[in-house]
């Protein structure tokens, strides 16, 4: 390898270290809302590592009317199962409000499987400590979910956009 090649390698490493340092410093400035937005983006993008980082080791996830999951390992198993499945998750945030470490989110979740797209509203309550989510509670209406499933079946598969 020539000196120029080595120089390119070291410049690339330096640039990566600077980018990492900037990201780390940016992370220190995140508000509770920033943490929730980044977490939801990680779920949409199947960014398992970022999602794991955003959750506190002692996180509690309550999908109201379903079983409550306690601990990052259990919550991550659920997230990893969704990421490995053929179901694509998407989210549209309609409103978000924060008071200190508590963030409330009104959103529409979309689950797409084999072209069938099911959309339903969800309200969420997040509690954030040190930029990590310690409580994640989702509220939704089973009737709304059922209407979405029936609608998706009658509409049929969507074509790729």
Enzyme catalytic residues? 109, 138
Contacts of 11 (CB under 8 A, 6+ apart): none
Show the tokens assigned to 131: 């930029």
Q: Rounded CA gap, 75 and 62, in Å?
A: 10
Query: What is the arrangement of strands in the sheet containing 116-129, beginning at the earlier edge strand?
Result: 68-70, 55-63, 132-139, 116-129, 102-113, 87-99
**Cβ-based neighbour number of residue 144 at 10 Å:** 14
First to last CA, the chain: 45
């Amino acid at each position: 390898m020539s000196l120029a090649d080595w120089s390119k390698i070291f410049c690339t490493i330096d640039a990566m270290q600077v980018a990492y340092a900037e990201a780390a410093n940016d992370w220190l400035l995140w508000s509770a809302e920033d943490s929730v937005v980044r977490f939801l983006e990680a779920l949409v993008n199947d960014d398992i590592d970022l999602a794991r980082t955003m959750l506190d080791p002692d996180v509690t996830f309550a999908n109201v009317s379903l079983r409550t999951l306690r601990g990052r390992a259990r919550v991550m198993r659920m997230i990893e199962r969704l990421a490995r499945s053929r179901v694509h998750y998407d989210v549209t945030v309609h409103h978000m409000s924060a008071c200190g470490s508590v963030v409330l989110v009104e959103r529409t979740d979309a689950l797409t499987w084999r072209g069938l797209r099911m959309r339903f509203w969800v309200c969420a309550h997040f509690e954030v400590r040190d930029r990590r989510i310690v409580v994640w509670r989702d509220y939704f209406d089973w009737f709304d979910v059922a209407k979405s499933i029936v609608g998706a079946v009658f509409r049929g598969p969507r074509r790729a956009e």
